[in-house]
C-alpha cells in the first residue's frame, strides 16, 4: 500500500512536470501587436487574411494565418561538418498546410527585413534577413532551420526523443523531426525572454538540450 501511494505521488509529479513543459498562450508580450490585436495579430478566425482587410483568403489554410506568406529566398546555412542537410524555407512555391517549414516561414512574415526592417533577425537588427536590397546573408548566418534532427547522421546530437521530452522539452516538427524557429521559440509566451521555449540558463541549457 505504501509503495503504491509513493508510486501515485511520483506519477502525479511526473504528470504535473510534463504539463508545465508546455507554456500556455498567456504571455504574448510584444507579440500582442499594437497592444490590442491579441491572437488576431497573427491568426484570422475566418477567411484567411481577408478577414482583416488583406487580400489573400488562402492564407487561412495555414494555421488560420492572417498575413501574407513571404516568397523571398532566404538561403541556407551550411558547413563541412553539417550532416543533416538544410532545405530552403522560402521561395515562390508556397508551402502547403502540412509542410514542416511553415513553423519557420510564418515567423518570417514579420521578422524579415523585406516586411519590417526594424524587427528583422540578425546581429544588427536593421540588416535585413533575406533582404536582397541590403545584401544581407539572409538565413545563411543564422542557426540552421528546416533540417532533420537525426542523431544517427550526426552523433554529436542528442536523440530526438531526449529533445522532445522532460520539463525542458523542445519541439521537432513532422515525421522527419525537423528543427524550425518554433523548436527554440514559443511565439505565444515570453516568460523566458526572447520567446524561448526554455530558459537558456548559463547561455548553454537550450543548446545542450540538442547538442552533446
Ligand atoms: C506573433 C504571432 C502569433 C500570435 C500573436 C499568436 N499566434 Fe498562435 N501561432 C503562431 C505561430 C507562428 C504558430 C506556429 C508555431 C507554433 O505552433 O508555435 C502558431 C500556432 C498556433 C496554434 C497551433 C499550435 C498550438 O500551439 O496549439 C494555435 C491553436 C494557436 N497558435 C492559437 C493562438 C491563440 C489562441 C493566440 C492568442 C492567445 C495566438 N495563437 C496568438 C503565431 C502567433
Ligand atoms: C505579426 C508579426 C510577428 C510574427 C508573425 C512573429 N513576430 Fe516575433 N516579434 C514581432 C514584434 C513586433 C516584436 C517586437 C520587436 C521589438 O519590440 O523590437 C517581436 C519580438 C520577437 C522576439 C523578441 C526579440 C525582440 O526584438 O524583442 C522574438 C525572439 C521573436 N519575436 C520571435 C518570433 C518567432 C520565433 C516567431 C515565429 C514562431 C515570431 N516571432 C513571429 C512580430 C512578430
Ligand atoms: C537553435 C535555437 C534557435 C532557433 C532554431 C532560432 N532561434 Fe531565434 N533565438 C535563439 C536564442 C537563444 C535567442 C536569444 C539570443 C540572441 O539574441 O541571439 C534568439 C533570439 C531571437 C530574436 C531576438 C534577437 C534578434 O536577433 O533580433 C529573434 C527575433 C529570433 N530569435 C527569431 C528567430 C526566427 C525568426 C527563427 C527562425 C528563422 C529563429 N529565431 C530560430 C534561438 C533560436
Ligand atoms: C532543437 C534542437 C537544437 C537546439 C536547441 C540547438 N541546436 Fe544547433 N543544431 C541542431 C541540429 C539538428 C543541427 C544540425 C547538425 C548536423 O546535422 O550536423 C544544428 C547545427 C548547429 C551548428 C552548425 C554545426 C556545423 O557542423 O556546422 C551550430 C554551430 C549550432 N547548431 C549551435 C547551436 C547553439 C549555439 C545552440 C544554442 C543557442 C543550438 N545550436 C541549439 C539542433 C539544435
* Chain segment 62-84, per-residue pLDDT in tens: 999 998 888 888 888 999 999 99
How many CB atoms are located within 10 Å of the residue 125 CB?
14
Q: Give CA–CA dist 37/174, Å, rounded.
A: 30
More confident residue, 57 or 87: 87
191 has a pLDDT exceeding 50: yes
pLDDT of residue 6: 44
Q: Give CA–CA dist 101/6, Å, rounded.
A: 44
Nearest residue CA, atom 3 of ligand 3?
184
Q: Which residues contact 200 (CB under 8 A, 6 or more apart)?
A: 192, 206, 207
* Chain segment 29-45, per-residue pLDDT in tens: 999 998 999 999 999 98
CA distances from 4 to 8, 14, 115, 139 (A): 6, 15, 58, 53
Span from the CA of 53 to the centroid of ligand 4 (angstroms)? 39
Q: Compute CA 104 distance to the chain's CA centroid, rounded to the nearest angstrom.
A: 6
Identify the band that residue 202 occupies on the pLDDT scale cut at 50, 70 and 90: very high
- Cβ–ligand 2 contact at 172 (below 6 Å): no
pLDDT of residue 134: 53
Nearest residue CA, atom 39 of ligand 1?
39
Q: Are 69 and 87 in contact (CB under 8 A)?
A: no
Per mean pLDDT, which range of 33-47, 152-166, 197-211 is the poorest?
33-47
- Cβ–ligand 1 contact at 157 (below 6 Å): no
142 has a pLDDT exceeding 70: yes
186 has a pLDDT exceeding 90: yes
Amino acid at each position: 500500500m505504501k509503495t503504491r501511494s509513493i508510486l501515485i505521488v511520483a506519477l502525479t509529479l511526473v504528470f504535473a512536470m510534463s504539463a508545465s513543459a508546455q507554456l500556455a498562450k498567456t504571455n504574448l508580450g510584444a507579440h500582442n501587436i499594437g497592444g490590442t490585436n491579441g491572437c488576431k495579430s497573427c491568426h484570422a478566425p475566418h477567411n484567411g487574411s481577408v478577414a482583416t482587410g488583406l487580400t489573400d483568403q488562402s492564407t487561412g489554410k495555414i494555421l488560420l494565418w492572417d498575413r501574407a506568406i513571404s516568397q523571398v529566398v532566404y538561403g541556407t546555412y551550411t558547413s563541412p561538418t553539417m550532416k543533416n542537410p538544410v532545405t530552403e524555407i522560402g521561395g515562390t512555391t508556397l508551402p502547403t498546410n502540412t509542410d514542416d517549414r511553415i513553423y519557420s516561414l510564418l515567423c518570417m512574415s514579420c521578422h524579415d527585413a523585406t516586411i519590417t526592417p526594424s524587427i528583422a533577425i540578425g546581429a544588427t537588427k536593421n540588416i535585413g534577413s533575406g533582404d536582397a536590397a541590403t545584401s544581407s546573408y539572409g538565413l545563411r548566418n543564422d542557426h540552421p532551420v528546416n533540417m532533420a534532427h537525426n542523431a544517427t547522421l550526426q552523433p554529436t546530437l542528442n536523440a530526438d526523443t531526449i529533445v522532445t521530452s522532460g520539463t525542458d522539452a523542445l519541439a521537432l516538427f513532422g515525421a522527419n523531426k525537423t528543427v524550425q524557429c518554433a523548436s527554440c521559440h514559443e511565439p505565444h509566451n515570453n516568460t523566458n525572454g526572447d520567446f524561448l521555449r526554455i530558459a537558456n540558463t548559463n547561455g548553454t541549457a537550450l543548446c545542450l538540450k540538442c547538442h552533446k
